Amino acid sequence: MSNKELYSPEGLRLDGRRWNELKSFTCKVNTHQTSSDGSSYVQQGNTKVMCKVNGPLEPKSKANSNNNNASITVNLNIASFSPVERRKRPKSDRRIKEMMTILEKTFSETVITKLYPRTQIIVDCYVLSQDGGILSAVANSVTLALIDAGIAMYDFVSSINVGLYNNSIPILDLNHLEEGDMSFLTLGIVGKSEKLAMMLLEEKIPFDKLETLLGIGISGAQRIKDLMDEELRKHGKLLISTAAS
């Protein structure tokens, strides 16, 4: 696909969005009440992700036991049917491993792990449908599921990606066609601050553009945070109205 079609002279993208518009974002928490301690579902455009958190619990093996902190294990399952073209990835796929490591590191910093020594927190993520921004959607779903599980955290991690079109125009929240055609960076920020909890850049981006991209990404991620926060409060009110009293 040629570059020109991705962004029209009128300033519209393939799916009709403007450069700084988010994909439609919906999320739910407590979706798997009986099979997990915390769970969530996040949908960003056609990217659909489920997350189940179990823990903190007794580590399954000594290797996951740390005397001072909880150890966080992230399993990422990208369903073979999730991309447009079916593709079965082996468990040892390098990119999946990389994403799991990034997520484990990010959330080990955000969860107050010192409160749960000698325990393990197991995070299972399932990508059901892909349309760009998998890592962001997964990170958002992990945040929600961890909060739903009642695990103490310093703050939300909200994530989004942002690309650079034609080396000049920044574009927020890419879909899979856009991702295939421009270099982009994925970032996760802490709460409503401008602090970065996570950042992944796999291609080249001119240094002088980086700051613009970060700025746009941060404001996008903050909007995601608000949407997640809203959903959590809505769910919380519902729970309180019926639960133990």
Partner 1 sequence: MEIITISKFNNNKGLNDEDEEMEDVSNNDQIVTPGELITEDTVWMRGHGTFALGNKTYSSVAGTILKVNKLLSVKPLKGRYTPETGDHIIGRVIEVGNRRWKVDIGARSDAVLLLGSVNLPGGILRRKSDTDELTMRNMLKEGDLLNCEVQSLFQDGSASLHTRSLKYGKLKNGIFLSVPRSLIIRSKNHSFVLQGNVSIILGVNGYIWIYKTPTVDNRLKTDSTASTASKLQSGVMGRQSGYQVGSGSVSLTRLEEESSWEIYSDKNDENISDAIRSNIIRYRNAIQALAHSQIGINESRINMAYEASMAYGSLGSLTEPEVMENISNDVLNGEKMRGS
Partner 2 sequence: MSFSVSEKDYLYQSLSSKTPIRPDGRKSHQLRGIEASINFLPNSNGSSRIRLSDGSEVIISIKSKVVKMSTLADLIELDLTIDNLRDDLTFISDWTNILRNSLLRNFADKFECLKLTTRYYFKLYVDVLFLSSSSNARTTKTDTSFLQNPLSMISFGIYLALKSTRLPLLISNSNDKDIEELPTFNDDWSSTVLLYPQDEDEEIKENNTTSQNSSSPPLLFVLSVVKNNLFIDPSIEEQEISDCGLVIGWCSGKVVSPIESLNLNQSGSSEYIKGMHGQNIIEGIKMIENVAATVSKGLDEIVKDGNNSVFMDSIF
* Binding footprint of partner 2 on the chain (CB under 8 A): 26, 28, 31-37, 41, 43, 46, 48, 52, 54-55, 57, 60-61, 75, 77, 79-84, 86, 88, 91, 122, 124, 126, 128-131
**Residue 113 CB, nearest distance to partner 1 (Å)?**
12
Dihedral sign (CA 15, 176, 9, 206): positive
Secondary structure E strands in 86-138: 120-129
Residue 129 binding result from partner 2, partner 1, none, given CB thresholds of 5 to 8 Å by partner type:
partner 2
Residue 124 binding result from partner 2, partner 1, none, given CB thresholds of 5 to 8 Å by partner type:
partner 2
**Residue 91 CB, nearest distance to partner 2 (Å)?**
8
The gap between the terminal CA atoms of the chain, to the nearest Å, is 59
Where on the phi/psi map is residue 15: left (φ > 0), alpha (ψ -120 to 50), or beta? alpha
- Residues with Cβ within 8 Å of 94's Cβ and at least 6 positions away in sequence, in order, are none
Nearer to partner 2, 141 or 161 (CB): 141
**Residue 180 CB, nearest distance to partner 1 (Å)?**
33
CA 22 to chain centre: 14
Residue 155 binding result from partner 1, partner 2, none, given CB thresholds of 5 to 8 Å by partner type:
partner 1
Residue 112 binding result from partner 1, partner 2, none, given CB thresholds of 5 to 8 Å by partner type:
partner 1
The token pair that represents 209 in the structure block: 């553009």
- 3-state DSSP percent of the chain in helix, strand and coil, to 5: 35, 30, 35
Nearer to partner 1, 7 or 156 (CB): 156
Secondary structure E strands in 58-146: 71-78, 120-129
Nearer to partner 1, 152 or 177 (CB): 152
Where on the phi/psi map is residue 214: left (φ > 0), alpha (ψ -120 to 50), or beta? alpha
Residue 122 binding result from partner 1, partner 2, none, given CB thresholds of 5 to 8 Å by partner type:
partner 2
Dihedral sign (CA 64, 157, 13, 168): negative
The residue behind tokens 């979706």 is 31
Note the residues at the interface with partner 1 (CB under 8 A). Answer: 28, 30, 33, 37-38, 55-58, 112, 116-119, 147-156, 190-192, 229, 232-233, 235-245
Nearer to partner 2, 215 or 236 (CB): 236
Nearer to partner 1, 53 or 134 (CB): 53
Nearer to partner 1, 56 or 132 (CB): 56
**Residue 84 CB, nearest distance to partner 2 (Å)?**
5
- Residues with Cβ within 8 Å of 7's Cβ and at least 6 positions away in sequence, in order, are 13, 19, 165, 166, 169, 171
